[in-house]
């Protein structure tokens, strides 16, 4: 019996998958629907066990359980979310069949709307990472440019390669794993990788020390007097063996600047975003060792992590 079958995940968190070869993609049924959700996941299938680097086509069907129209197909989208429901999680599973690494378009809905009780299909391919492990991808439909639809995030559960069942049984509820070689950060829940994101660790001369840490505090906007910069979504780290040394996890740092010199929302050379009097360090630094020793995530990603990782959450730097 495969490992994922043994683990017996509740169906409420498993994405229904359906391989479709063609045919009509807009459906209508007259089923009982919940009143507190804008949509209902209709398709469901066993979890997927894949090989590293494999490309697989999957499809899911959702029903409009609200009272309003889902506008034309160029507005209805399937968006990525974090496991805590925060929107716009960059996905490492995306392929050319996606609009971006955070959006998938429905099929067969050009210039059409989805009425209440009708259904819409999203068919797309995923490419598995080369790293063996257990993963969960979370999605939620939205009307682009308007709002996200209300409902429980749709979870896609995947096993990549062969896994040791004992390892999964010993998994911690939450873990952050930082890889200095690949400059990536993984968020792990009960043994499942729920997000893989680019980071920036310490540059030469400021190398982020490897080891085991725990989170001991959260500061929404911390200030570094030494480097004269602000660090949004600061998460303080305490080494298991060395104690508090001043290292932490935070979003790309920013400087407070004169608004008259910058254009709101503009991204300047190097990926430097200006907004609300703040000029951020460039997004181009993510994926590179460029910090003074702390671990940097993107601005939005660090906000999601700030909400996801409680004090006491373990952090492993390798």
For residue 211, list its beta bridge partners.
317
Q: Other CB atoms closer than 10 Å to residue 213's CB: what's the count?
A: 26
Q: Tell me the C-alpha distance between 285 and 298, whole Å.
A: 10
Neighbouring residues of 42: CB distance < 8 A, sequence distance ≥ 6: 16, 60, 61, 62, 63, 119
How many CB atoms lie under 10 A from the CB of residue 138?
23
> Tokens 């004169």 belong to which residue?
258
User: Nearest 5°: phi and psi at 3?
Assistant: -55, -45
Pick from 309, 308, 283: which is nearest to 296 by CA? Answer: 283
Rounded Cα distance between 47 and 134, Å, is: 11
CB atoms within 10 A of CB 117: 16
Which pairing describes strands 314-317 and 211-224: parallel, antiparallel, or unpaired? antiparallel
CB distance 297 to 185 below 8 Å: yes
Task: Tell me the two tokens of residue 24.
Answer: 């009509």
State the Cα–Cα distance between residues 306 and 318, nearest whole angstrom. 21
Q: Are the C-beta atoms of residues 142 and 153 closer than 8 Å to each other?
A: no
**Among 282, 80, 298, 97, residue whose Cα is nearest residue 184:** 298
294 is known as an active-site residue: yes
In 3D, which of 39, 27, 41, 30 has the Cα closest to residue 66?
A: 39
Catalytic residues: 250, 294
């Amino acid at each position: 019996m495969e490992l994922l079958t043994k683990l017996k995940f509740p169906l409420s968190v498993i994405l229904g998958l359906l391989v479709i070869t063609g045919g009509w993609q807009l459906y209508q049924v007259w089923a009982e629907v919940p009143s507190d959700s804008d949509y209902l996941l209709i398709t469901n299938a066993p979890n997927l066990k894949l090989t590293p680097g494999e490309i697989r086509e999957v499809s899911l069907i959702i029903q409009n359980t609200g009272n309003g129209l889902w506008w034309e197909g160029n507005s209805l989208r399937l968006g990525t979310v974090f496991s805590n429901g925060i929107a716009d999680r960059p996905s490492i599973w995306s392929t050319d069949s996606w609009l971006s690494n955070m959006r998938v378009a429905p099929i067969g809905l050009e210039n059409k709307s989805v009425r209440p009780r009708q259904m819409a299909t999203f068919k797309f391919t995923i490419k598995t990472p080369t790293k063996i492990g257990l993963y969960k991808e979370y999605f939620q439909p939205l009307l682009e440019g308007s709002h996200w639809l209300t409902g429980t995030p749709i979870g896609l559960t995947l096993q990549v390669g062969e896994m040791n069942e004992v390892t999964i049984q010993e998994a911690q509820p939450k873990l952050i794993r930082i890889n200095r070689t690949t400059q990536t950060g993984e968020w792990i829940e009960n043994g499942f990788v729920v997000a893989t994101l680019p980071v920036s660790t310490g540059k030469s001369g400021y190398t982020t020390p490897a080891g085991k840490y725990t989170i001991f505090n959260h500061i929404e906007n911390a200030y570094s007097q030494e480097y004269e910069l602000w660090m949004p979504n600061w998460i303080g780290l305490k080494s298991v063996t060395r104690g508090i040394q001043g290292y932490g996890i935070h979003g790309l740092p920013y400087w407070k600047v004169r608004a008259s010199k910058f254009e709101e929302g503009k991204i300047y050379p190097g990926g430097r975003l200006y907004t609300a009097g703040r000029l951020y360090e460039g997004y181009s630094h993510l994926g590179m060792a460029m910090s003074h020793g702390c671990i940097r995530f993107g601005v939005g990603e660090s906000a999601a992590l700030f909400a996801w990782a409680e004090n006491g959450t373990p952090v492993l730097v390798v």
